[in-house]
Every structure is written in C-alpha cells, then in structure tokens.
Structure 1
Amino acid sequence: MDAAEVNPPRNADDDGLLALDPPRRGEEEKLDLRKLLLFERAVAAGSLSAAAHELGWSQPAVSQQLSALERSLGTRLLTRTTRGVVPTPAGRIMLGRAEAIRTQARAALEDLRSAASTTDQTLRIAAFPSLVGGALAQSLEQLASSGGGGFEVLEHEPPEALDLLRRGRVDVALIFRHENGEPIPSGHRAVTLGRDRHRLILPRRWGLDHDILELADAADLPWVAGCQRCTQHLTQVCSEAGFTPRIRHVTDDPQAIQALVAHGLGVALIPRLALRTPGAAGYADRIDVVELPHLAPREITAVHPESWTGTARLDELIAALRRRI
C-alpha cells in the first residue's frame, strides 16, 4: 500500500482538525464538488486503492486530491490505515452532507437540461385531480395537435406537487390555493390561471333545491368531504356559517364525491372545475347545484422555476389553461 494512504496530513490534532482559523464568510468556495464526491467514493470503496481502481486513476492521484480537499477545509476527513480508510468524526459529518450536495447538483443539471430547449422539450406537470380530468386534458390535447414537445402528467394534491417541483421532479406545479394558502418556494414564480368558485351539490331525489339557498341551510345534512385540504376548507367555511358539518364519507376523487351525492348519501361542497369534467355529465340529472356566491373562490395557479419564465412551451400551456378556467 502506498505510504500516502497510511500517513495523515501533517499538523493535525487528535480530533482531525488542522491548525487553521475557523471558517469565514465566503470560504464555502473552497469546497470542490469533484473532490467531495471523490471522498464519498473512497469511503464507499473502503480504500484509496479500490477507489482508484473503480475510477481508472492512479492511487497517488486519488490520495493527492483528497489531501488537497482536507487542506482546503481545514480538517482531516479520513483516517488512513493499513486496511484502508475510514471517515473521521468530521468526515462522517461531511459524508452526510455529500449526498445532499450531490442530489442538489443533479437537480441543477436537470433544470439546465430542461430549460435548454424551448420547443422540443417534454414538459413535466404535476396537477390536482379536478384539473387533470378536465381543463388540463383538454389543453394538452390542443397543444399536442400543434406539434412541439410532449407532456408528462402526474396527479398530486398541491402540497405534494410543490414538493416535486422543489426537488426538480417536475417542471411546473398546477395548484389551487385558498386564502392563506401554501407559500411559493423560493426561486419560483406563481402565475394566476383563474379563480374557481365552489357549489353546493345535493341529491335530486331529496327535492331540497328550493329549501337550501345558502350553506347554513345544509347544517343538519350528512356531508361528503374531499382531500385533506378540501376537508379543512369545508370545516372552515361551515364554521363561519355557524355549524360543524357531519362528515360521513371522504374521498379524494371528485367524480366519486358526485357519485355519492347522486346516490343520496350526502351533500358536498365542490369546485366548478370538478363539475365541468367529462365524467360529471353522468350525474348531471341526479344532482342539484346551489350557487354560493358569498364564498371566496380558490385561486388556480401555475408555479414554475423563475428560470423557465418566457419558455415557449410553458407559455403555451398557461395560455391554453387560462382559456378554460
């Protein structure tokens, strides 16, 4: 084994810290991503020789790179032994950070690749169910017929869609926001697509459409609720109307909500977009719809990285959705 693999850098104390001043502002520039990933590879391989073999490098070259990383950081990351290398306490800390840094670097490269083309790209979209089944599907049909890049759609509620966007798994999140909704992630832009008002839907067989004119009139009826955020919104607006809804059924599927109401199992608060999906037509003659103009509408928003502003394919999608919301 090469002596460089056994001997640690000089002037290091017992805790693996070199005799350097504490980090100062701007010293993060000393962190060389390539050397950091090499350090991660060496720990995984168990020795500098094994890491060098995997990379097709010489063992002294690997040792020199890692020693340079340790000097730049002011701390010893590896303990070199005759059996290989093991991370020091400081090395274990850096190892935990290395995976997160590598993930962020990969996400940054994916963003760059996504933004490199404005015509032949595949636009990755996360959207909530009542938008996917109606306005979004109709918009994508129109855009697909005009050529250009393709589309990938993932159905997710707004919190999950925003999380995918933050992690670079999608290019745009189509979400709805009630008052005091989720904050927009840093480095992203929110574009309003339209506003979506709620309706109260009742089983037609109950014959209550002339008796129920506002939300409070349904206080004594059983309710069908939607997703977690929709249920929270239902509870809030009912509380403002002076009652607590007796929720008997819960489903994330807008069409299932309408089916439950159509079959006489309860009443529901449902957004206009859900009533306009193709599947809603099957229940149109079995439910009554009560307008609730006093309820604040939810805002339909497209959220995307600021770097995507002005991208042709995204602009086309936004324009198509605005025509349908």
Structure 2
Amino acid sequence: MSHRQAPNLPDFRGLAAFDAVLAEGSVAAAANRLGWSHPTVDHHLRRLEQQAGVKLLERGPRGSTPTAAGRVFAVRARQLLEAGRRAFTELDAWLDDERRLVRFGIFPTLGALVVPGILRRAELARLSLELTLDECERLARQLEQGQLDAAVLFQAPGLPTPLSAEVTTELLFAEPLVLAVHRSHPLATTEPSEPIREFTELRQDRWAFGASGGDTLDEATRELCGRAGFEASTGMHSDDYPAILGMIAAGQLVAIVPASVATWHDDAVAFLPIDTATLTREVVLATREEPPAALRDAIAGALSELRTR
C-alpha cells in the first residue's frame, strides 16, 4: 500500500527529473542533461516520491535504476511529459497561424504515394501536420507513448496490430496482395488461372519477410505456409521493396507484396494475384483521440486520388 501525502497534481519538474535519470542512468548525468544542479534534481525527485507515496528509484554508487513501482510509473510519466510539451507546441502553432497541430505517421510504401495529397489537403484546411514515415511497429509504439496523435498502419485480417484500449482504429480500405516470383517460377509459367489460394507449390522457395519481426502480414504468410504443410524458409529480412524485387528478379526469393508495388516491377518478376479471401492487407487509421475531420478528409481524398491513377 502506498502512503501518498496528498492527491496533488504531479510536479512536472519532478517528472522531468525522473525521466532524465531513467534516460541517463544517474542523478549527475540527469542534472547535466537538464542543465540543473545536482541538489535541484535531488529535491524534485524526493518531492515526486513523496507525492507518489512509494520509492521510485534505487540509488547506488554506480547510478540509479527504477524500482518495480518506478517502472510502472515511468510509462505514464513520459506520457504526461509528452502531453505537456505538446500543449506548448500546439499553443505555439496556434499563435503562429491559428492552425491545429497533429503529429501524424504513416508507413513508407503507402506514404510515398499519398503523403503529397494529404499535405496539400491539410494545408487548404489550415491543419498543420508534423509527419513521421516509419514502419508500423514503431509507429504503433509512438502512438502508445503519446508521441503521435494519429497513424496509418497496415495489418492482416484477424491479426490486428497490438494496441492498448486508449488507441482506436478504423478501417480505411483493404488492399489486394500479389505473390512476386521470378518469371521462370513454375507458378508463373503455367497458364493463367484462378488467384492463388494456397501455397503448396512454394515449399522449395526462400521468402523475403519484413525487417522488424512484428509484421502481421509476415505472421499470416507463415501461417498459410504451415497450412500447406511446410515451414517458410527465410532468405531475407527487409522493408525495402526495390531491394526485395531485385533479389526476386535474380531468382533468389519469393515474396508477398501489395498490389501497388507491382507498378514498380522488373520484367524478370511476375506478380500473381492472391485470392482476397485468402489474404489482403487492411489499412487502418489509428488514433489516441478523435482526429480532426480535416485529417480524415485529407486522407480519404488522397486515397481516392490514388485509386483513380
């Protein structure tokens, strides 16, 4: 049981000192990072622990480490600090041009196609976007930590990106997938037929999978290989589609890629449609709070423009 002195609001200087100690590993290094004196950092840490009613740090000659309670508290402490920084950033943006600032992330393969259209529409709606292009796993983590307000992610049907209850998702669209193989592959040399529904004829191939290890489409692909009676052999980890297609053109790999990637193709690569009931890529908008209508409209408009190309 904790012995919290009073239900006061947390001291943000205490939160900043605590976060700096966690990042730097010692009070002295935290003081240097913050530009404060050592006694000042100590004072705010003691006050924070008094407010918490529990010890948050273990101090020793080799530095400071969080207690079990400190590790639990650290997650919310960082979110509070991010929220405080964001409050001033948004105020500055409003004072500059009365725009609302939204920290927005999107994965690179779709972002390369739609970000210009999103930014153009956001500008017309006087919405200021701070843009991050990154892989879905890292975008999801930034959402959880309060470093992003909204992000466009992809996932496999039935295998949603792991997110807390504080983050909500809505489906934007489902994108068809294709199997990319070398032109000489047996599947590419047979007469065109129905879309691919199972992977039996791919048991001898080596696969390209994502670099992060947390890609739900990779999980779904491995599951489909398992249903066909074999374990997928990994030949490459990469999120760089041109590099993956180059390896496929050299006859070294096979991979599942979005249909939009087929427009980049090398003549040595064949793109075979996958039955949508077997596997698609769901593209979702994930947000920590209700996003501005202007952001939704900008995304929808850019996606609509992409489909008409």
Instruction: Give TM class, smaller chain.
Output: 0.5 to 0.7
Specify the alignment match of 1:171 in structure 2.
149
What is the CA distance between 1:22 and its match in structure 2?
6.6
Write the deviation string for residues 29-55 of structure 1: whole angstroms up to 9, x where unpaired.
24552685699799974557x99xxxx
Q: What SS does the aligned partner of 1:209 have?
A: helix
- Partners of 1:232 and 1:38 lie apart in 2 by 39
Is the counterpart of residue 288 in structure 1 residue 275 in structure 2? no
Identity fraction in percent: 18
Contact 2:152 2:285 in 1 (8 A): yes
- Hey, what does 2:84 align to over in structure 1? 109
Q: Is the 8 A contact 1:119 1:312 kept in 2?
A: no
2:288 alignment partner, one of 299, 305, 311: 305
Aligned residue in 2 for 1:275:
262
Counterpart residue number, 2:162:
183
Q: Could you tell me whether the CA contact under 8 Å between 2:104 and 2:129 is conserved in 1?
A: yes
Cα 1:236/1:193, change in 2 over 3 Å = same
2:211 is aligned with 1:196: no
Aligned to 1:127: 106
Q: Aligned-pair distance for 1:239?
A: 1.0
Q: Is the 8 A contact 1:190 1:301 kept in 2?
A: yes
Q: Please, which runs of 5 or more residues in structure 2 have no aligned partner?
A: 21-26, 57-66
- CA offsets 1:241-272 (integer angstroms, 9 cap, x no match): 22223332332112222222123222221122
Aligned length: 269
Q: Give the TM-score taking structure 1 as reference length.
A: 0.64
Confirm whether residue 235 of structure 1 aligns to residue 222 of structure 2.
yes
Partner amino acid, structure 2, of 1:237: L
Q: CA deviation at 1:28?
A: 6.0
The code of the aligned residue for 2:149 comes to D
TM norm structure 2: 0.67
Whichever residue aligns with residue 204 of structure 2, its letter is D
Distance 2:71 2:15 in 1: 12
Q: In 2, distance between residues paired with 1:231 and 1:206?
A: 21
Contact 1:176 1:298 in 2 (8 A): yes
State the SS of the aligned residue for 1:197. Answer: strand
Residue 226 of structure 1 contacts residue 254 of structure 1 at CA under 8 Å; is this kept in 2? Answer: no
Report how far residue 169 of structure 1 moved.
1.9
Query: Which one of the candidate residues 300, 314, 319 is aligned to 2:295?
Result: 314
Q: Tell me, in whole angstroms, the C-alpha distance in 2 between the residues paired with 1:180 and 1:75.
A: 39
Shift of 1:313: 3.3
Task: Identify the residue that residue 256 of structure 1 maps to in structure 2.
Answer: 243
The CA deviation at 1:196 is: 1.9
Which residue of 225, 231, 238 maps to 1:244? Answer: 231
Letter in 2 for 1:187: E
Tell me which structure has the larger Cα radius of gyration: 1
Amino acid at match of 2:258: P
Contact 1:204 1:287 in 2 (8 A): yes
Instruction: Measure the CA separation in 2 of the matches of 1:173 and 1:76.
Output: 36
Contact (CA 8 Å) 2:167, 2:288: kept in 1 or not? Answer: yes
Q: Deviations over 1:278-306 (max 9, x none)?
A: xx1x52x3322211214132311111122
Local SS of the residue matching 2:7: helix
Contact kept, 8 Å, 2:106 with 2:134, in 1: the verdict is yes
3-state SS in 2 of match to 1:300: strand
1:38 and 1:192 map into 2 onto residues whose CA distance is: 37
Aligned alpha-carbon RMSD (Å): 4.4
